[in-house]
Structure 1
Amino acid sequence: MKLFKLAKDFNNEEDGAVTVDWVVLTAAVVGLGVAALAAVRDGTETLSSAIGDYLSTVQVGG
């Protein structure tokens, strides 16, 4: 009888399922972050290069 109770308790346990849900959700958020970074990477490189070029031509002081 103890084996059947142990099997029933194991079947009703939900902690593992919650952990899997959180792992999948975290992986999805990380994946979206990487996708967003890839989408804006070229634009930020171009913009930072343009800002660097402009700042190198500006004279500071009198």
Structure 2
Amino acid sequence: MTRRFSTKLAESAKDLIEDEDGNTTVDWVVLLSGILGMTFLVMASISGGIQVFGEKAESELTSRDVGF
């Protein structure tokens, strides 16, 4: 019984190692996490400049007279 169990376990381990069904999913997860990480880095690096630009635009627009 023990020998049959170990043989079956070895066959199951071999099948698991040779199985390639989940590889595509892993590739997409890694690719998506890289894209999201780069997006967050870019947003963090330009957020200060965007805020300064918004403040300058606000002060310019509030200082102008509207109407006749």
TM-score normalised per structure 2: 0.72
The unaligned stretches of length 5 or more in structure 1 are none
Q: CA RMSD in A?
A: 2.0
Aligned length: 61
Q: How much does 1:7 deviate?
A: 6.3
* Identity among equivalent pairs (%): 33
The unaligned stretches of length 5 or more in structure 2 are 1-8
TM-score normalised per structure 1: 0.79
Structure 2 residue aligned with 1:22:
28
Cα displacement string for residues 4-61 of structure 1 (whole angstroms, at most 9, x for unaligned residues): 8876654443220110110000000000000000110110000100000111111111
